[in-house]
Structure 1
Amino acid sequence: MGNIEEVIVVGGGIGGLAAAYGIGKLGKKVTVIEQAPAFGEVGAGLQLGPNGLRALDALGVLDEVYQHAVFPRRHVFMDALSGKELSSVQFGEAFEKTFGYPYIVIHRSDLHSVLLKACEKLNNIRFLTNHRLESVEEFDDYVELRCENGATLKGKLVIGADGIRSVVRQKLINRNSKPVPARYVAYRFTVPMSEMTINIDWDEKLTWIGPGIHLVQYPVRHKSVINQVAVFESQNYNEENDDWGTIDELYDMFKDCCPTVKESIKFAERGFVSKLHDINPLEKWSTKRVTLLGDSAHAMLQYLAQGACQALEDTVCLVEKLKEHEADLAKALDEYQKERIPRASQVQRGARMWGKIKHAKEDHARLLRDTIMLNRTPDDYTYLEWLYKDRKLASV
């Protein structure tokens, strides 16, 4: 039958490495397979709210993460057209007292590096690169994975952390769970602080919102670099091809914005472009020996900054269930999905809704949104409690 691995994690991103580390700390032997030639993260900035930090604390890596983090003073919502402030969320002492943890921004690769180094300190975790998964088949006693490079691996437990286009999900869990196009495009780009000529307080995180558009700005890497994400609804969306969402369309969509926004997006051509997708909430994540984690289970739009946070929540919950039901893997995976599916699905739906609110086009919708935002106080965390409240995660 060949060697059967104890645990195989498919995907070496943030969720995959977090899972490998958490399960590795239980003493189990873990193999992480990654399709790329090296472990790394694509992208730039990443936001982590209290729920994500709570999970990192449970994993035991929070102090290391903090060494790379920037702690914004406020999250400020600005009108992209007029340039006026609409609302803000005050971080700091009151925020931490309410939720137990702060709010941070960090370079995505810095978080990934912390998790990779933590994994490398455990001698029961091994890594295989250039292993693109081709097929997965579950048997009574093991799961067989075949890779495009000809390798075949067998595992007692397989965790699909292989992203929105997950092979594990589509081959074994839900064959109809294809990515859902949002018709929006994101240009992600970083700019050295020395090149930013606009007059902005970089102790704050800013979100500029307008009809069918928004721009996010915040500093990373000890405020030496500004991370920016410009998002717009493409008027040229075509499901038949990928020839839409061009840089010219971006500039056209942002043409009526205030000078600060227009000056900021002039760097957009430096970055990389992604067509935004999520997946519909799933009713099932697990079989007897296979489960999903992170984007493979609940890929979501980025409007609540919860993609990484939810993957980290997944990790802590999965590790807890594996520890609690050590002798019954199927029960552990079933308990994991029962606890996580309602929560992750709620966040998926919330992200879609917040995108609609943020990008409101009709005058009456914008007036209602802006009136609510203008009349709330910076320390009113009512709308955030469902997202950030303590879910009593155990240390793993």
Structure 2
Amino acid sequence: MSEPILIAGGGIGGLAAALGLATQGFRVTVLEKASAMGEVGAGIQLGPNAFHAFDRLGIGDTARAMAIYVDQLRLMDALSAEEICHIDLGPAFRARFGNPYAVIHRGDLHGVFLAGCRRHDRITLRTSAEVVAYEQDGTGVTAVLADGERLRGRALIGADGLWSKVRRQLVGDGAPRVSGHTTYRSVIPTDRMPEALRWNAATLWAGPKCHIVHYPLQGWRAFNLVVTYHNDAPEPVAGKPVDAAEVFAGFQHVHPLAQSIIRQGSDWRLWVLCDRDPIEGWVEGRVALLGDAAHPTLQYLAQGACMAMEDAVCLAQSLSAHQGEVAPALEAYRAQRVLRTARVQLQSRAVGDHIYHPAGAHAALRNAVMAAKSQDQWYDTLAWLYGGPTQQEHTA
């Protein structure tokens, strides 16, 4: 029996890759450093391209059953509490992109992938198994674990996130770039959400150096609440508990209606947002990067998980098309994905600076330009992003 493909990381990207590869007939071993498989975080948004990937990975029906389908993407002015614009996600949107737009709890989505992997006899899942280094030759790869164990495989996929140990060896580009933007996350019961704001929408309130996002989760039992403040945070932080006063400090200048949402939050945790500059060199022989290990992005296009799932689809299809010839398959995967993901990384930064956080005349210009667009024009603007993993990656 041939050696398995090794995947470092059991998050959404790693499990999606495992499922895609197993579906194409490959044996896979997932190596997760934590003592249990799970995801930290709350809600994530799923564009039509995510559903394209779900279908190719064989979990489309399950994912659809767990998601909440919002009616709009809604952009509000956090100073005036007036709507700037919205994008209708109804029948015309679905007809244009072939799939819906939805929101889901990150843990629920991870659970869908985990259940799929556990059902598959070609997938082995291991916990407390952190990949810290690798060695390779012409016939395979050896993954070196933190406890000294060595595992042999035909390829190694680094899906081990922003602080990837596989990337550290493959690329060696140091620590991630600190954006200076701090995000605070909370989940609030629906009955604590201000009644006038219980919209079936993924809503973003844009203000000077700050923004607020909210949308329903888990069968409308709760609302996901994410608030971000550009406070020049100097170093990475992930999941640190903070009190409500610290959160509210960045939003003293916004409209009372926007403030009323933040006041409902509790059990706040903060993340200092980080990304990296796009690179072309994701692959070294039989080793490749995937998801945040390859192209970590800021959250402002809501595409981090979506890009990882697209990577998984492309990787599996490439290895299948090359009949398991690893090096050329990985290079073909890299070549297909690099420009699309670089565009997501760079445009996510630009959206944060020029749409979500400007002030004064810059904000007034944003409002005028975005309010003037028709729904068809919005769909044209988004076509490059939501067209899915089969779209030509260089399409403008």
Same fold per TM (> 0.5)?
yes
Deviation of 1:201 after TM superposition, in Å, equals 3.6
Aligned-CA RMSD value: 2.1
Q: What amino acid is the match of 1:84?
A: E
Is the Cα–Cα contact under 8 Å of residues 18 and 28 in structure 2 kept in the other structure? yes
Q: What amino acid is the match of 1:144?
A: T
Is residue 162 of structure 2 the alignment partner of residue 164 of structure 1? yes
Partner Cα separation in structure 1 for residue 281 and residue 204 of structure 2? 35
**Aligned partner (choices 373, 383, 386) of residue 384 of structure 2:** 386
1:164-186 superposed Cα distances (whole Å, 9 cap, x missing partner): 11100111x20015310000001
Q: What amino acid is the match of 1:96?
A: R
Unaligned 5+ segments in structure 2 are 392-396
Deviation of 1:238 after TM superposition, in Å, equals 3.1
Q: What amino acid is the match of 1:61?
A: I
Is the Cα–Cα contact under 8 Å of residues 6 and 30 in structure 1 kept in the other structure? yes
Aligned to 2:321: 324
SS in 1 for 2:70: coil
Aligned to 2:280: 283
1:79-125 superposed Cα distances (whole Å, 9 cap, x missing partner): 11111000000001000111111100000111111111111111111
**Aligned partner (choices 49, 52, 55) of residue 53 of structure 2:** 55
Aligned to 2:394: none
Partner Cα separation in structure 2 for residue 370 and residue 250 of structure 1? 26
Q: What amino acid is the match of 2:262?
A: I
Is residue 10 of structure 2 the alignment partner of residue 7 of structure 1? no
Is the Cα–Cα contact under 8 Å of residues 214 and 358 in structure 1 kept in the other structure? no
**Aligned partner (choices 202, 209, 213) of residue 212 of structure 1:** 209
**Aligned partner (choices 346, 354, 357) of residue 357 of structure 1:** 354
Deviation of 1:52 after TM superposition, in Å, equals 1.2
SS in 1 for 2:148: coil
**Aligned partner (choices 216, 227, 231) of residue 234 of structure 1:** 231
Is the Cα–Cα contact under 8 Å of residues 310 and 389 in structure 2 kept in the other structure? no
Deviation of 1:136 after TM superposition, in Å, equals 1.7
Deviation of 1:134 after TM superposition, in Å, equals 2.1
Q: Trace 1:99-118 onto structure 2 (pairs within 5 A).
A: 99-118=97-116
Partner Cα separation in structure 2 for residue 180 and residue 240 of structure 1? 9
Q: Trace 1:143-182 onto structure 2 (pairs within 5 A).
A: 143-171=141-169, 173-182=170-179
TM-score, normalized by length of structure 1?
0.93
Partner Cα separation in structure 2 for residue 8 and residue 392 of structure 1? 25
Is residue 115 of structure 2 the alignment partner of residue 120 of structure 1? no
Deviation of 1:133 after TM superposition, in Å, equals 2.1
Deviation of 1:198 after TM superposition, in Å, equals 4.0
Q: What amino acid is the match of 2:21?
A: I
Is the Cα–Cα contact under 8 Å of residues 72 and 202 in structure 2 kept in the other structure? yes
1:184–1:246 CA distance, 2 compared to 1 (3 A): farther
SS in 2 for 1:317: helix
Is the Cα–Cα contact under 8 Å of residues 198 and 264 in structure 1 kept in the other structure? no
Q: What amino acid is the match of 2:317?
A: E
SS in 2 for 1:298: coil
Partner Cα separation in structure 2 for residue 118 and residue 274 of structure 1? 30
Q: Trace 1:34-53 onto structure 2 (pairs within 5 A).
A: 34-53=32-51
Partner Cα separation in structure 2 for residue 36 and residue 240 of structure 1? 20
Q: Percent identity?
A: 37
The count of residues paired between Structure 1 and Structure 2 equals 389
1:148–1:135 CA distance, 2 compared to 1 (3 A): same
